[in-house]
Amino acid sequence: MSEYLVVFIGYLLMNNYVMGQTLGLCPFMGVSKRYDTAKGMGMAVIFVITLASFVTWLVNEYLLLPFGLEYMQTIAFILVIAVLVQIVEMALKKMLPVLYQALGVYLPLITTNCVVLGVTLDNASAEMNLLMSTFCGFAASVGFTFALLLFACIREKLALSKMPKWMDGFPGALIAAGLMAIAFKGFSGLSF
């Protein structure tokens, strides 16, 4: 059990995919202007990455490895992710329209969110079992969402301050993200 806790805290603070590995910056910068959109995107990301970690493990273990096709991982995984996102979108539309309304607009964007592909590729190279792999996907995406929500709150606060005009938009957001990464830096080397 503690093994899972360590993974979870690690992805939340120390190995945070956004703050520590600078992946997923497009959605991190793009949908963080408002808390509500950030929340929608975050939830959709958790949903898709957890599912994608599960499915790509199966694909890797039963399709790629037996035939020595590891070098096809990138192609196979991105296809799985794209198809998965499509299916999730259709399934939600039919079965859970409420959830679809909340997450629907974010789903197509997730295919090109590099955290998804990054997490699944990392999982594959770490050679874990199915449960751990899926949990890693879940923890990494929760870490992503955590950073995204914190950043959205900060940007909503900054929107009310008197920043110089030339800090508006990306420059200010990038520098704010940099300062935020300093705060995450304190957790480097965290081990239990």
Contact positions vs other proteins (CB under 8 A): 19-26, 29, 33-35, 71-75, 78-79, 82-83, 111-114, 116-118, 121-122, 149-150, 153-154, 156-164, 166-167, 170-192
Nearest approach, Cβ of 104 to other proteins (angstroms)? 17
- Indicate the DSSP class of residue 14: I
Name which of 131 and 157 has its Cβ closer to other proteins: 157
Nearest approach, Cβ of 163 to other proteins (angstroms)? 5
Nearest approach, Cβ of 55 to other proteins (angstroms)? 16
Grouping H, G, I as helix, E, B as strand and the rest as coil, residue 121 is: helix
Name which of 131 and 184 has its Cβ closer to other proteins: 184
Name which of 86 and 129 has its Cβ closer to other proteins: 86
Nearest approach, Cβ of 39 to other proteins (angstroms)? 11
Cα angle vertex 89, ends 126, 139, to 5°?
A: 30
Name which of 36 and 131 has its Cβ closer to other proteins: 36
Tokens of 134: 């899926």
Separation of alpha carbons 109 and 177, rounded Å: 21
Side chain identity, residue 18 = V
- Give CA separation, 78 vs 39, 72, 129, 134, 169, in Å: 24, 10, 21, 17, 30
